[in-house]
Amino acid sequence: MRTLQITAILALMTLAVAPTSRAGQEVSAEQRKLAMEGAQLWPIYCAQCHNARPGSEFSPNQWNAITMHMRTQSNMPAKNIRAITEFLKTVR
């Protein structure tokens, strides 16, 4: 449980200092809000089975495919997977 708390804190800290652009595109307030929510959800849904990996490990399109696959595996609500996907795309 402590590891999940540390992971969540690190994810939120990373978002706080993350750039406001992604591949030359400005990140909207809605995207930033989703990413913050995703940072909180990532330890709940993902960290139980996966080690933390940098968002830059995969391209945004690859993250789309990966998270949709994981949604079907975990039966995660769509709104949660959107937030986690945004978080993974934003944290580079």
Residue 86: per-residue pLDDT: 93
Residue 17: per-residue pLDDT: 46
| Mean pLDDT estimate for the chain | 79
Measured in whole angstroms, the distance separating CA 68 from the mean position of its chain's CA atoms is: 13
Burial track 11-50 (b if 16+ CB lie within 10 A, e otherwise): beebbeebeeebeeeebeeebeebbbbbbbbbbebbbeee
Tell me the mean pLDDT in the region 11-19.
Answer: 51
Tell me the mean pLDDT in the region 40-52.
Answer: 87
Q: Is the pLDDT of residue 10 over 70?
A: no
For helices 78-90 and 29-45, what crossing angle results, to 10°? 110
Beta carbons of 46 and 7 less than 8 angstroms apart: no
pTM of the model: 0.71
